[in-house]
C-alpha cells in the first residue's frame, strides 16, 4: 500500500497533467481518465493532450464534495 502525501496546491503547476491528478486524488490511472471524461470536469484539450487548470480543478472537486467556498 502506498503512503499518502500532502499536496501543496500552490506548488502544483497552473495546468495539471493526469499524473498530478493521480497524486492528488490517489486514484488509479484508468479512474483518473474516467474522472477527466466526466461531464463538467474542467479539462482543456489540445488535440489528444488533456490538461486541467489547477484552481478550476480544486473548485470543481470542492463543488463535487459539497464544500462551500469562502
Q: Model's pTM, two decimal places?
A: 0.82
Question: With bands split at pLDDT 50, 70 and 90, how would you rate the model's confidence at 8?
Answer: confident
For residue 9, give Cα distances in angstroms to 46, 54, 55.
23, 8, 8
Place of cell 479512474: 31
Angle value at C-alpha 32, between 55 and 44, nearest 5 degrees: 45
Q: Region 13-42: what's the mean pLDDT?
A: 96
Amino acid at each position: 500500500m502506498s503512503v499518502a502525501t500532502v499536496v501543496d496546491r500552490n506548488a502544483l503547476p497552473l495546468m495539471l497533467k493526469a499524473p498530478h491528478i493521480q497524486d492528488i486524488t490517489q486514484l488509479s490511472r484508468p479512474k483518473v481518465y474516467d474522472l477527466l471524461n466526466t461531464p463538467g470536469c474542467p479539462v482543456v484539450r489540445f488535440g489528444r493532450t488533456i490538461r486541467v487548470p489547477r484552481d478550476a480543478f480544486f473548485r470543481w472537486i470542492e463543488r463535487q464534495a459539497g464544500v462551500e467556498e469562502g
